[in-house]
Structure 1
Amino acid sequence: MQESRAGSVRASDRAYETLRSDIIEWRLSPGTVLGELEQSARLGVSRTPLREALSRLTAEGLTAAHRGRGVVVSDISLEKISELFAVRISLDCTAATLAAERSDQDIFNTLTIRFETASTLISSSSGEQHEYYRLVAELDSAIDAAAANPYLLQAQKQLRTHLSRVRRLARDDAARLLASAAEHAQIARSIAQGNADLASASTKVHLHNSLQYLLAARIDPGSTTRKETAHG
């Protein structure tokens, strides 16, 4: 009985991680119906661990119950994006301030240099910028470690799950990613210098620019492509 239970837990975790990755990476787009029979067969798990995985995803807000359709991938509207950024600006500026007051200068100096030379990651001929996103995640982790505030980190955890989905909407726009790299370099530089006010201000500028890009580009949340803007 214990072995069966352990196997069920492992299957549930496996299903959860796969579905979560598929949703964040837009392999499963908003509105996609996650039918139990189809997903059980695709993931190679029984319906019980699948239901456990779907429950966890629903608790995170990545999926939602839809009357008459079962469980679907949750949508991302421009309104929701604005709401996410309103919270993100507050949390990330606080984290940057704390990091600047407590950081290891060498770590952030190194990150500054890496962002200053990140154009090769962004201009990848394959069109994939996974390495650049890993670098952004490294900066996030370094700020978390320097800020050393578990309550702040817990508040950011679920928010970042949704922001990972939003971030992928800009993945094909090399110009925006290059500008973003410069903004990240400034954040890292400010923290390395121990300038809390500048670290907070640089973070706010970056997040403002990111939000304005998404709004101005009139992202279609139902696809991974951008709609044409009025100015072409």
Structure 2
Amino acid sequence: MVSNDEQAGEAIGADISGSRMLDAYDRIKLAILRGAFAPGARLSQVKIAESLGLSRTPVREALRLIEKEGLVSSRRGRQVVISTTSMADLDELYALRIKLDTSTVRTSVADLDGADMDEMRDCLARMEQFASPENFAEFDAAHRTFHMIAIRGAGPRHVEYSAKLNEHAERYRRIYLGQSNSYEQSSAEHRAILAACDARDGGLVSYLLAEHYARIALTIIAQIEPQFEPRLVRAAARVALDGKEGPTRKSETEKMAARSGEGF
């Protein structure tokens, strides 16, 4: 019969092991998303464990989780290959973001309160403060939070899945935001989204997000592989924008964005 002390020891050991695995997961995933490893690069589990100061077991388990998310693939000889970026992957990723986030904000925006709006304004201010390629990490941290605020009232499952899509999009945002002039367009679009959230207009926020996501995806494709046809993004955007195009809607958006800018 196992004693209480033995049970406690086993539980503590399991907690420590799980903590090490999660630490390895967070650190490896962050390095991949931030471009520390080139797409297609081969990594050794042994070397990763050595660099993290961990045993191979938590690293192996962490890599299994990361592999399920599609960021790496395993090869023989305990090698790990960083998944390559591709226009097909970008097309699927941004189509999913358009479908999920634009449908979610239609209802979640109505529940935003004053504290939420203050947080969004603070995020936008930080995004504009760090609007340059050399400050990408600071910009993107505020950028991720900005977009999550508008949907977090939809529930934990929506938030979790949207956050993962947002994370995976980081590798592509780095491509898009590699040029300093892209930040000016980004600022204008985020100001418009903020103004629509402040008006609690979920339909307009949905419209603006669809345009924002689609434009980023199409811009990257035009830069890297202009012959690629982003059919998934185009189809998702058509659905999200149905019945909301036209000069009247555009004029309304521009006026709201201009009013939003008065506070900065």
- Give the alignment's Cα RMSD to 1 decimal: 2.4
Greater alpha carbon shift after TM alignment, 110-119 vs 70-79: 110-119
Task: Answer whether contact 2:127 2:140 (CA < 8 A) is retained.
Answer: no
The question of 1:135 aligning with 2:142 is answered yes
- Cα–Cα, structure 1 residues 188 and 69, in superposed 2: closer, same or farther, change >3 Å? same
Q: What one-letter code is carried by the residue in structure 1 that aligns with 2:94? A: F
Match of 1:222 in 2: none
- Partner residue of 1:205 out of 195, 207, 211: 211
What is the letter of the counterpart of residue 86 of structure 2?
Answer: S
1:36·1:47 contact (CA, 8 Å) conserved in 2? yes
When normalised by structure 2's length, the TM-score is 0.73
Question: What corresponds to 1:40 in structure 2?
Answer: 49
**Residues 144-183 of structure 1 correspond to what in structure 2 (within 5 A)?**
144-145=151-152, 147-183=153-189
- SS of match in other structure, 1:129: helix
TM-score (norm 1): 0.82
Q: Which amino acid aligns with 2:135?
A: E
Q: Give the match for residue 223 of structure 1.
A: none
Once the two structures are superposed, the pairs formed by residues 1-232 of structure 1 within 5 Å of their partners are: 2=10, 3-66=12-75, 70-105=79-114, 107-108=116-117, 111-112=120-121, 115=124, 118-123=127-132, 127-145=134-152, 147-218=153-224
Q: Any stretches of 5+ residues in structure 2 without a counterpart?
A: 1-8, 226-264
CA spacing shift, 1:8–1:152, aligned 2, 3 Å: closer
Query: 1: CA distance between counterparts of 2:56 and 2:125?
Result: 48
The alignment-based identity, stated in percent, is: 25
Secondary structure at the residue paired with 2:190? helix
CA distance in 2, matches of 1:188, 1:152: 20
Distance 1:41 1:114, change over 3 A: closer
Secondary structure of 2:39 counterpart: coil
Aligned to 2:239: none
Q: Distance in 1 between matches of 2:75 and 2:97?
A: 28
**Deviation of 1:66 (Å):** 3.4
Cα deviation, residue 181, structure 1: 1.9
Q: Which residue type is aligned with residue 191 of structure 1? A: C
**C-alpha distance in structure 2 between counterparts of 1:69 and 1:34, whole Å:** 9
Match of 1:122, SS? coil
The aligned length equals: 216
Structure with more relative contact order (C-alpha pairs < 8 Å, separation 6 or more): 1
With over 3 angstroms needed to count, the CA separation of the structure-2 counterparts of 1:123 and 1:159, relative to structure 1, is closer
Q: Which has the larger radius of gyration?
A: 2
1:122 touches 1:177 (CA, 8 Å); kept in 2? yes
Amino acid at match of 1:130: A
